[in-house]
Structure 1
Amino acid sequence: MASGKILRQLLKAGTAGDKDAFRLASESIIEEERLKQHHLLANDLEKILYSSTADRRGKVSRLTPSVPTDKERGLPLLDIRHPQRSLDELILPSAGLDAVEELLGEHRREDILRSYGMRPANRVLFFGPPGCGKTLTAEVIACELDMPLAVVRLDALVSSFLGETAANLRKVFDYISEYPMVALFDEFDALGKERADSGEHGELRRVVNAVLQMIDAYQGKSLIIAATNHEQILDSAIWRRFEDIIEFSKPSKDMIIKLLSSKLRGVRRQFEIDGPEIVELFDGLSGADIERVVRRAAKRMILKGQEFLSLNDLKSALGKEIRR
C-alpha cells in the first residue's frame, strides 16, 4: 500500500485538477509498488496512467502531426501509440534477443555509422506464430528508441476502389518518411501475398508490386517493422526487401520459467515456478497465452480472498483459456 503522504498528495492533486502533481504522485506510487516487487500491479497502474498522459516518464513527449486518412471513408491510416514496454520485459530466444539488441545498438549509434557512410537497418521483418511477441517487440523497440509506435490500420488501408489501396500505401510511406517513428505493418501477409497464387485477382497483385516498389525506394526517418503469422504465403520477392529478419517461436521450457518469474513476481504462491509440473502445464502455449492464464489465476486468487496462488488456480485458469 502506498504511503499516507503520497496518497494525500494524489487526492489533493486530483481534487484541485493539477495534472502535473497528479502524475508525479501516481509515478511515486508506481515506483513504490515496483520496489515491493508488485510488478503486475505496477504495470497495470502504469498503463492506466500513461494511456491518458501519453508520456512514459517524460519519454515520447513529442507531438506527431495529424495522420493521413483514407479518401473513401475518412478513416485514419495509422494508429499512433505511445509505447510503455521496456527491454527488460522482453523474453525471447537468445538469437531473437540478440537481433533486437543489435538493431537498437545501430539506431542508438546512428551518428557513428553515418560517419562511415553507413546507416542503421530500417526495414525489419518479424515472423512466427501468433502470441509470441512480435507486436510486443515492436513496442519495446519504439520505447527504447523514444519514438511513437505507428500501427498501420489494414481496415482503413485496403480499399474496395480500384487503385485506392496503393494510393493509401503511398500516403503511409510519405508520412513515415517525414516523421521519425516505428511503423508496424501487422498482418503484413495481407499486403505481401504471393503473386503467383492463381486465386488472387489483378488488384491484389498490383498492391504487392506497389509494396515492393515503396519498400525498395524507402529512405525515410522511420524504422519499418513488418510482422506476419503466415510467412509461408509471402511473395518470394518480399524477403529480399528487408535488411533484417527475426523469427519468433513458442516459448521453450527456460523461457516459460522466465515468463512465469516475471509475471508472478511479488505474488505469494504454493508452488515452485521451475517445478516440472508447472513447466509441463504451460508447454506448447504462446507467451500471450501464458500471460492471460497467469492474470486470470491471479484475479481468481484475489476475488476468493486467498493469501497464496495455488496450482489449482493455474489449472482452472488454463482450462478456461483452452475453452475460450
Structure 2
Amino acid sequence: MASGKLLRLLVQSGASGDSNAFKSATEQLIKEERAKQHNLLANDLERILYGDRVSPNTSAHNILPQAPIDKESGVALIDIKQANRSINELILEKRTFEVIENVLEEHRREDVLRSYGMMPAEKILFFGPPGCGKTLSAEAIAYELNRPLAIVRLDSLVSSFLGETAANLRKIFDFIEKHKLVVLFDEFDALGKERDDGSEHGELRRVVNAVLQMMDSYDGKSLIVAATNHEQILDSAIWRRFDELVEFPLLSKNQLQSLLQLKLRGVRRDFDLDDPELNSMFYGNSPAIIERIIRRAIKRMILKQNEFLTIRILKNAFELENRK
C-alpha cells in the first residue's frame, strides 16, 4: 500500500492538472511497489503511465540485448522479447504452481539467500505433455521477475556443419551468463537425448556432452528454463544438472473449471461451466487445445452475430480441432 503522503500528492496533482507533479508522484509509487517486490503492479503502472514507450528509469536488463548469431547462416540463435503474460494467467496443478511461486520468491529475495551463502534456483526443467503450460509459465516467470524472455532457436542452433552446434551452444551460454534474462530451451530433448540410443550418430552425442559440461560450469545472471514433452528420452545424466524438476500434468476437473472460467470471462453464454456435456468434451485435453477451441467458437459466435455462445458452437469447434 502506498504511503499516505504519496497518495495525497497523487490526488492533489491530478486534481490540479499538474502533469509533471502527477508523473513524478506516479514514478515514486512505481519505485515503492517494485522495492516491495510487487512487480506485477509496478509493471501495470508503468504501462499506464508510459504506454508503449520505455520508462526513463527502466533498468538495464529491460533493454533487449543483441542476440548472438550462427556463423554460417547469420541467423540469430535466440529470440529475445518482453514478456506479456503474468502468473495470473496460469492454470496449473497445485504442486506445479507452488514450485513456480517458490522459484519467484527465491529470485525476489535473492539478497536474503545470499546473506546465508545460498543461491536461488538458476536451472529448471519443465516436463509433461504438450500444451500444458510450460512455455506460458516460462513467460510468466520472466514477466514477474521483470526480465526479457530469451527463446533459444533450435533451427539455427543445430548446425549441419560438424562441430558448429557445440560452438553455437558456447555462444549462447557465454551470452546468457552476461545478461539478466529468463532463457527458455524449448524442445530440450533435441539437445539432451539419451547418449546410449543406438540410432544417434556421434555428433549428437558430442552435443549432449557439451550441454552437460556447460550446465555444470554455468554461473551466470540468467535463469535457465528447459522444457520437454519427451522426458523419457532425456539422458539420465541431464536430470541431475537442474535445481528444480517441475512436472506439468494434464488438468484435473477442478483446474478445467478454473480454465473455462478464465477463458470465458466476459463472454455471454447460455450454459453453466459445470455442464456435464461441456466437461466430457474438454476433459483430458491440454489447456492449449481447449483455449484454441474456445477462441475458434467465440469467433464463430461473433461472425454469425449470435447473442450467446452455445454448447453447439463449442461442439462444432471441437470437431474441427479433432479433424486436424
> What is the RMSD computed on CA atoms of the aligned residues?
1.9
Counterpart amino acid of residue 113 in structure 1: L
In the alignment, structure 1 residue 113 sits paired with structure 2 residue 121: no
Within 5 Å, give how 1:64-103 maps onto structure 2: 64-103=64-103
**Distance in 1 between residues matched to 2:98 and 2:142, nearest whole Å:** 17
Q: SS at the partner of 1:125?
A: strand
Query: For residue 213 of structure 2, what is the aligned residue in structure 1?
Result: 213
Counterpart amino acid of residue 187 in structure 2: E
Within 5 Å, give how 1:138-177 maps onto structure 2: 138-177=138-177
Counterpart amino acid of residue 167 in structure 2: A
In the alignment, structure 1 residue 260 sits paired with structure 2 residue 260: yes
User: Deviation at 1:274?
Assistant: 1.5
Asked if the contact 2:64–2:81 (Cα under 8 Å) also holds between the matched residues in 1, the reply is no
**Distance in 1 between residues matched to 2:306 and 2:92, nearest whole Å:** 32
Query: For residue 225 of structure 2, what is the aligned residue in structure 1?
Result: 225
**Distance in 1 between residues matched to 2:168 and 2:222, nearest whole Å:** 17
User: Deviation at 1:62?
Assistant: 2.4
1:84-132 Cα distance to aligned partner (Å, 9 max, x none): 1111110000000000000000000001000111110000000011100
**Distance in 2 between residues matched to 1:79 and 1:66, nearest whole Å:** 10
Query: For residue 313 of structure 1, what is the aligned residue in structure 2?
Result: 313
Structure 2 gap ranges (5+): 1-47
**Distance in 1 between residues matched to 2:78 and 2:250, nearest whole Å:** 29
Asked if the contact 1:64–1:179 (Cα under 8 Å) also holds between the matched residues in 2, the reply is no
Q: SS at the partner of 1:213?
A: helix
Structure 1 gap ranges (5+): 1-48
**Distance in 1 between residues matched to 2:167 and 2:120, nearest whole Å:** 28
Q: SS at the partner of 1:193?
A: coil
Count of aligned positions: 274
**Distance in 1 between residues matched to 2:215 and 2:252, nearest whole Å:** 34
Query: For residue 286 of structure 1, what is the aligned residue in structure 2?
Result: 286
Q: Percent identity?
A: 62
Q: SS at the partner of 2:97?
A: helix
Counterpart amino acid of residue 152 in structure 1: V
1:207-244 Cα distance to aligned partner (Å, 9 max, x none): 00000000000010000000000001000000000010
User: Deviation at 1:64?
Assistant: 2.8
Q: Following TM superposition, where does structure 1 have runs of at least 4 consecutive aligned residues deviating by more than 6 angstroms?
A: 58-61
1:31-64 Cα distance to aligned partner (Å, 9 max, x none): xxxxxxxxxxxxxxxxxx9xx94869x9788213
Query: For residue 27 of structure 1, what is the aligned residue in structure 2?
Result: none
**Distance in 2 between residues matched to 1:59 and 1:133, nearest whole Å:** 29
Counterpart amino acid of residue 226 in structure 1: A
Asked if the contact 1:78–1:151 (Cα under 8 Å) also holds between the matched residues in 2, the reply is yes
**Distance in 2 between residues matched to 1:149 and 1:138, nearest whole Å:** 8
Q: SS at the partner of 1:80?
A: strand
1:239-298 Cα distance to aligned partner (Å, 9 max, x none): 000010000111111111111100000111000011222111101110000000110110
Q: What TM-score, normalized by structure 2, do the two folds share?
A: 0.82
